[in-house]
Amino acid sequence: MMDQKQEMYEFVNRGDEHYMAHISIDSVIFGFHANQLKVLLVKIRHDDRWALPGGFVRKEETMEEAADRVLRERTGLNNIFLRQFHVFSDIHRSNTEKFLELMRSEGIEVKKNNWLTQRFISVGFYALVNYEDAIPSSNWDSEVCEWFDLQNVGELILDHNKIIESALETMRRQLNFQPIGYNLLPEKFTMPELQRLYETILGKTLDRRNFQRKMLGYGILDRLEERRKGGAHKAPYLYKFNLEQYQKALKEGLQGGW
Amino acid sequence: MMDQKQEMYEFVNRGDEHYMAHISIDSVIFGFHANQLKVLLVKIRHDDRWALPGGFVRKEETMEEAADRVLRERTGLNNIFLRQFHVFSDIHRSNTEKFLELMRSEGIEVKKNNWLTQRFISVGFYALVNYEDAIPSSNWDSEVCEWFDLQNVGELILDHNKIIESALETMRRQLNFQPIGYNLLPEKFTMPELQRLYETILGKTLDRRNFQRKMLGYGILDRLEERRKGGAHKAPYLYKFNLEQYQKALKEGLQGGW
DNA sequence: TTATCAATGTGTTTTACTGACACAATGATA
DNA sequence: TATCATTGTGTCAGTAAAACACATTGATAA
């Protein structure tokens, strides 16, 4: 078994044997917990800042498979909702100087024209995971991996703030066409929880009563007999998505704007 | 001035000095004419089939700049509506054998590990052009370049049929958020023409009277005093987009579904 | 010259949906 | 046991959508 430094050396100096040059993926992994939309970030070594989990594309992988692999490595989850949404290809989006500095800090020699010092274009993906199920995990190229409140991500490296913004906008537009509620919420949830999710994604408040009427009108929710106990107030009903009806409704798009 | 064969030789054997390996763009260039949605295609040399206009990405270009350059080369048009919509990265989407066969036909020597024999992922773009203004032009790597009715493109090379389908679906989803009518129609147009455009994109017929009421309700059209003469029937009014109002309305999205 | 006819311009009616709002029920806490 | 924030349910007016009818126009054909 290789140690961490050797693993890094191999990747830096021989990665181009297995990975495609110039092409990377970055994933905005969303979760929802305590009425907050969360994003999974990783801490860069020798840098105060955080970054989106990302990775490179093996020569025998599609972009989707690469994104799926990165997601699995970071959350332990399989078969997760994952969609590409934009290609980021600004000329100066990579930062070769930072990379070389990091390698110096790690004591790793980098030869001229190393594949990682060249320009990378990155395909942005967004993933929707059940917060409870995900187990944030770091690896050899990141110190820490943890959830952040969306409003609280601070300044990230490179164009990663822009990528998150773009992912959020995509999700907003696709709210009526993708099973976003289903993938972000646990199996059972309350109507207020679903509403908070919608409000967070849309960035505006919605009328509680109209929201419920419209949601139930779609016929995609099954109300359970249980209620959520433990809150300081009236116990709300629990709901489940009726997956069959949900899928059917999404094909045409849920009708009406927010 | 290089002749055509020499130009091709240079591109094939030294293109990797100027272009990025593994990355290409393909553009679905839409036009609208005679109540038909059109797509611009190019004819492949030594092959019966047609293809989407595409190209490679210069080392100093963004994806958008590359797509813009290709569009300019094929239509003569500048400053055109152009949006990326999906990355196509299937492992076997390239066809190295076909490429080598083509090179043999042209009598061009291809060395082992030539950059063009490697895997390419392609970023799909769609463009909306004014049919009247575009001047379809071929170049050294394509025999012919011309418009096809969307329903009539036949079997294209590689995954290009799939790319068109994906572009059309994207356009359908973005109909209320992008100035699609403005970019596809000439400056002056009639309400029935606008309706045919919507119907073609959506793939369904719309009620004439409801369409007009809704369209005018947006306040994005100015009716002119002129009418379109020459038809066999009652002469319809001509309209223009009120660009200022249109842009403003698109920011929030045109309300209501189709 | 005039009747024809397909296509356009302009309504109306009915129904469904949205937005704004009011009040009763619940259940932990004080 | 009273309090109170939160949830469950209902109403009403205004708006938008779907379905539909009739008059107008202008080239074409009789």
Predicted complex ipTM: 0.94
How large is the average pLDDT for residues B20-44? 96
A222 pLDDT more than 80: yes
Closest CA in chain B for residue A93 = B62
* pLDDT confidence bin for B45, thresholds 50/70/90: confident
**Strand C within 7 A of B229 CB:** no
Provide the 3-class DSSP secondary structure of residue B123: strand
Helix pair B160-174, B191-202: axis angle to 10 deg: 120
pLDDT for the residue numbered B2: 63
* Cβ–Cβ under 8 Å, residues B175 and B167: no
Q: Which of residues 157-216 of B touch strand D (CB under 7 A)?
A: 207, 209-210, 214
A23 to B121: CB separation less than 8 angstroms, yes or no: yes
User: Looking at A80-84, A94-98, A120-124, B181-185, which range is the least confident one?
Assistant: A94-98
A-chain residues near B16 (CB < 8 A): none
Closest CA in chain A for residue B176 = A173
The candidate with the shortest Cα–Cα distance to A72, out of A133, A144, A151, is A133
CA-to-C1' span, A236 to D5 (A): 13
Give dist(CA A217, CA A204) in Å, integer. 21
B218 pLDDT more than 90: yes
- Shortest distance between the Cα of A21 and any Cα of chain B, in A, equals 8
A35 pLDDT more than 80: yes
* Cβ–Cβ under 8 Å, residues A188 and A224: yes
3-state secondary structure chain A: CCCHHHHHHHHHHHHHHCEEEEEEEEEEEEEEECCEEEEEEEECCCCCCEECCEEEEECCCCHHHHHHHHHHHHHCCCCCEEEEEEEECCCCCCCHHHHHHHHHHHCCCCCCCCHHHCCCEEEEEEEECCCCCCCCCCCCCCCCEEEEEHHHCCCECCCHHHHHHHHHHHHHHHCCCCCHHHHHCCCCEEHHHHHHHHHHHHCCCCCHHHHHHHHHHCCCEEEEEEECCCCCCCCCEEEEECHHHHHHHHHHCCCCCC
CA-to-C1' span, A155 to D7 (A): 39
C-alpha distances in Å from residue A216, one per residue of A197, A253, B9, B125 = 16, 15, 64, 38
* pLDDT confidence bin for B129, thresholds 50/70/90: very high
Q: Count Cα neighbours of B141 within 13 Å in the Cβ-side half-sphere.
A: 18
Q: Residue B209: what are its φ and ψ, rounded to 5°?
A: -75, -40
pLDDT for the residue numbered A212: 97
CA-to-C1' span, B258 to D13 (A): 26
Averaged confidence pLDDT in chain B: 94
Q: Residue B154: what are its φ and ψ, rounded to 5°?
A: 70, -160
Residue B22 forms contact with A (CB below 8 Å): yes
* pLDDT confidence bin for B127, thresholds 50/70/90: very high
B63 to A87: CB separation less than 8 angstroms, yes or no: yes
pLDDT for the residue numbered B230: 83
A87 pLDDT more than 80: yes
Contacting residues for A72 by C-beta, under 8 A, at least 6 apart: A78
The candidate with the shortest Cα–Cα distance to A246, out of A177, A199, A198, is A177
Nucleotide nearest to B217 (CA to C1'): D16
In one letter, which amino acid is A215?
M
Residue A46 forms contact with B (CB below 8 Å): no
A121 to B63: CB separation less than 8 angstroms, yes or no: yes
- Shortest distance between the Cα of A90 and any Cα of chain B, in A, equals 6
Give dist(CA A257, CA A202) in Å, integer. 11
* pLDDT confidence bin for B4, thresholds 50/70/90: confident
**Strand D within 7 A of A192 CB:** yes
pLDDT for the residue numbered A46: 85
In one letter, which amino acid is A223?
R
Query: What is the torsional sign of CA A253, A128, A126, A208?
Result: positive
Domains and CATH numbers, chain B: 4-174 (3.90.79.10), 183-252 (1.10.10.10)
Percent of chain A with pLDDT strictly greater than 90: 85
CA-to-C1' span, B233 to D30 (A): 18
CA-to-C1' span, A209 to D12 (A): 14
**Strand C within 7 A of A233 CB:** yes
Count of CB atoms within 10 A of residue A234's CB?
6
Averaged confidence pLDDT in chain A: 94
* pLDDT confidence bin for A1, thresholds 50/70/90: low
The candidate with the shortest Cα–Cα distance to A129, out of A199, A77, A91, A67, is A77
- A169-200 tens-digit pLDDT: 999 999 999 999 999 999 999 999 999 999 99
The candidate with the shortest Cα–Cα distance to A127, out of A89, A77, A87, is A77
pLDDT for the residue numbered B258: 86
pLDDT for the residue numbered B1: 56
pLDDT for the residue numbered A2: 63
pLDDT for the residue numbered B229: 85
pLDDT for the residue numbered B86: 98
- B241-253 tens-digit pLDDT: 999 999 999 998 9
B60 to A91: CB separation less than 8 angstroms, yes or no: yes
A230 pLDDT more than 90: no
C-alpha distances in Å from residue A197, one per residue of A138, A191, A202 = 27, 10, 9
B206 pLDDT more than 80: yes
Give dist(CA B146, CA B159) in Å, integer. 19
- B138-167 tens-digit pLDDT: 988 788 999 999 999 999 999 999 999 999
In one letter, which amino acid is A211?
F
Nearest beta carbon to residue B257 from set A57, A63, A255: A255
pLDDT for the residue numbered A257: 84
Which bases of chain C come closer than 7 Å to a protein CB?
A: 5-12, 17-22, 25-29
User: Could you tell me how far CA B163 lies from the centroid of its own chain?
Assistant: 11
Give dist(CA B38, CA B196) in Å, integer. 13
Neighbouring-strand partners of residue B25? B55, B123
A226 or A83, higher pLDDT: A83
